[in-house]
Structures are given as C-alpha cells and as structure tokens.
Amino acid sequence: MSGIVAQNLNRQSGLIKAPEAGGGAWTFISKTTASASATLSITSGLDSTYKVYFITYNNIHPETDNTHFTFNGSIDSGSNYNVAKTSTHFAAYADEGDSNTSLGYETGHDLAQGTGVQNLLNEIGNDNDQSASGYLYLYNPASTVFVKHFTSVSQLVNAGDYSRNQFVSGYLNTTSAIDAVQFKQSSGNIDSGDICLYGLTI
Amino acid sequence: MSGVVAQNVGRRSGLVKAPEAAGGAWTLIQTITASSDATISFTSGLDSTYDEYCFQFVDIHPSGDNENFQFNASLDSGSNYNIAKTSAYTQGEHNEADSSTFIGYKTSMDLAQGTGAQVLVQGVNYANDSMCSGYMHLYAPSDTTFAKHFISYMGATMGGGGDYIQSNHVSGYINTASAVDAIQFSYSANNIDTGTISLYGIG
C-alpha cells in the first residue's frame, strides 16, 4: 500500500485508498460460459489463496435430454480428472401434474471411492425452457493434510417435467492439493450456461 | 454521489470515492483459529449491523473420535449459553465400502425447546485426514420481536470406526425475543484441535 491516502483505508467517506480486490469477503475469480462445450474446466484460481471456494452453475442447458451435470477433481492442474470421492446424494422432487412427489436417497448417483464423475444434477431436460442451476462449496482444496469436503444444492427441471431439488455432499479423498475441477454432461455437450468461481476471505 | 473523485468509483488504484457500504455484500467480521480449544466463542460482532450473519467452518478437526460438533447461544454476551431452541435435523450418509446409505430424520439430534447445545454434525472422525466443514446462517440475532432462525449445511468424515461421508442439514430457531449477542461452538466431549471459524455479516 502506498500513497498519501493509505491511512484512510476502511473509511466509508471522502478520499480513500481503493481496496485491493473487489471489496467485501467474496472475490469473483472467473466465469466460464458454455457454448456447445463438451467440458467446462477451472484450471486456475483454485489454490491456497482462499480456504472456501464457491462455484455457481447457472442455467445449465444440456444438448442431450435426460442427462446429468457432473464434476470431477484434479491434482495435476487438469491433466487428469480422476480423484476418488465418497458422497451422499438425496433429492426432493414433484411433477407438474401434481401426481408424484418424493424425498429420498439417490443410490445410483452417489460414489463410494469412485474416481469417475460426481453427478450434481440428475436427468436434466433439454426442452428450450429447461435448465438447471445451483452451487457447490469446496473447502480448502489446497490442504495437504485433510480430505476436501464439498457440499452442493441444486434445482432443475428434469426431462419428465419434474422440479428436482438435489443435495450432494462428499469428500475428494486425497491429501494432495486439488487444483482444478471439471464439469460436463454425462452425455452430449453443455449447450449453454455459465460457471462462476468465487473465493471467500477468512 | 458527489465529490471530485466520484467518477473514479470502481477503480482499484489511486484516489477513489469510498464505497457506500463496507465494500461488498459479505463482510468478514472475525476469524478464530482453533488450537486445542474446548470452545470457540464469538462474543462481539453479532448485533444490529446486519440482518443476516453466516459462520463458515473450515477443517474443524476434533481431538477425540466420534465427536458431535455443536453450538449454543447467549443473551448476555457469553456469560451463559443456554437459550431454548427447537430444530429439525436431516442427515445423509454413505460409506466408502458402498455397503451403507442413509437419508432421514435424526430424532436424537434435534431439540424441542432444549437449552443445551444444538448438534450441527454428528460423530466426526478424528483420523488425521478427517474433520468437518460447512456453514451456518443466523438471521437477525439482535431482533427483539421474533425468534432467531438458523440454517446449516455441513459435511463430515464420520467417526466410530467407519469411513463415511455424512451430510448434515440442520435448521431451527433460537426461541427468544431477546437479542442474541454471542454464539459458542464446541465438540461434545473433547477439544477442537484445529480449524477456523469465520463470521460474516451479510447485506
């Protein structure tokens, strides 16, 4: 910090030194926009700068009907996305016809030390007005002591015209630093949508 | 907006106009780092400045196995943590061996006007690579009309001899119309070995 008004940092009026980042506890790091994309990868910005990262996925629209939006982690800057994960996955859903509701565990969408992708959003529809949104917290990915927990909450319109509210949490079971994450559909491209990465100052 | 530097709002260097608020929707109020602590208490910063607060928990590691991570609230700046709470507790589980899954209500973890601690995570593993992380929102703690709602979502590596992921969803209200001005976190029997808890004001 330098300059004649450095001592005024944190004042709320008058002439002050600008904050180093965007101000506030959250820092926007990156935005990745899909355009018929096979994958959306975040290969920078996940490091020891922050201990809490927050990833939003907004209006993810799949090319292929009834496919899942997924993610995986990397410990080699994105060369490989194959970190073992154990997760729990449950969802509440209701159809537009008001004939079917449920809250339950989604056995086919969890992982038990699986190195494949983790489903975050199940069975997204590809009608023009169908999409999915939500968020994923990733805790201390640069830790070399602990596994890395993630928690997500998502909402989507599925292929059968259901509203689905999904809760996925788990851990990337590695004590190596996670330095990249990748999102993709279980089949076909991500036609549109965006993914934003934020860091939280603690 | 006025002043000779109004046109510089949004610039990141040089002389600029101060932001209208603290500079963002979330303001970091305090971070406490655990070091074999029996409790971690926030006895300042919870007031009428914000209508919503959030605690972020990062790598909260217990000194003993199978420990419940929990909180309680105070009306007297931390002299006593004993406010009545009523809560709901939903939990999901899955083990690394893929032999056990669970989603359901945890009757033993909720409170019905209980003044003891509210569990946020049940049975945290104390293996070297294990802990819990997550968040808890607390709404309008300084309100003197309504009860105070809280919502938390935490993940944990579960103790007791298994390698489980545990997803904990707890919401409830601190049933008082007095201002809540302090919050205390602890493990049920042993210390908080390591980890950080940060308090944010939102709005």
Which ipTM did the prediction report?
A: 0.84
Answer yes or no: is pLDDT of A12 > 80: no
Answer yes or no: is pLDDT of A2 > 50: no
For the segment A83-117, what is each residue's pLDDT rounded down to a tens digit?
999 999 999 999 999 999 999 999 999 999 999 99
The whole-number pLDDT of residue A159 equals 95
Which residues in chain B are closer than 8 Å to A137, comparing Cβ atoms? 133-135
Strands B112-114 and B192-202: unpaired
**Mean pLDDT over the full length of chain B:** 89
A84, amino acid identity:
A
Helix (H) or strand (E) holding B60: strand B52-62
Answer yes or no: is pLDDT of B9 > 50: no
Q: Per the CB < 8 Å rule, is A170 touching B200?
A: no
For the segment A45-60, what is each residue's pLDDT rounded down to a tens digit?
999 999 999 999 999 9
How far does Cα B89 stand from its chain's mean position?
15
| d(CA A30, nearest CA chain B) in Å | 17
Distance CA B141, CA B114 (A): 18
pLDDT confidence band for B75 (50 / 70 / 90): very high
Q: Per the CB < 8 Å rule, is B59 touching A51?
A: yes
Three-class SS state of B7: helix
Decide if A18 contacts A5 (C-beta within 8 A): no
Which residues in chain A are closer than 8 Å to B11, comparing Cβ atoms? 18
The whole-number pLDDT of residue B24 equals 52
Which DSSP string corresponds to A106-136? Answer: -GGG--EEE-SPEEEEEEE--STT--EEEEE
Q: Where are the alpha helices (DSSP H) in A39-176?
A: none
Q: Per the CB < 8 Å rule, is B134 touching A3?
A: no
Decide if A87 contacts A110 (C-beta within 8 A): yes
In the predicted model, what is the mean pLDDT of residues A160-169? 96
Distance CA A62, CA A69 (A): 8
Q: What is the pTM of this model?
A: 0.87
Answer yes or no: is pLDDT of A10 > 50: no
For the segment A180-192, what is each residue's pLDDT rounded down to a tens digit?
999 999 999 999 9
Supply A134's token pair: 């939500």
The whole-number pLDDT of residue B203 equals 87
Would you kindly state where each structural domain of chain A is located, as residue ranges?
A: 3-201
Q: Per the CB < 8 Å rule, is A169 touching B155?
A: yes
Answer yes or no: is pLDDT of A6 > 60: no
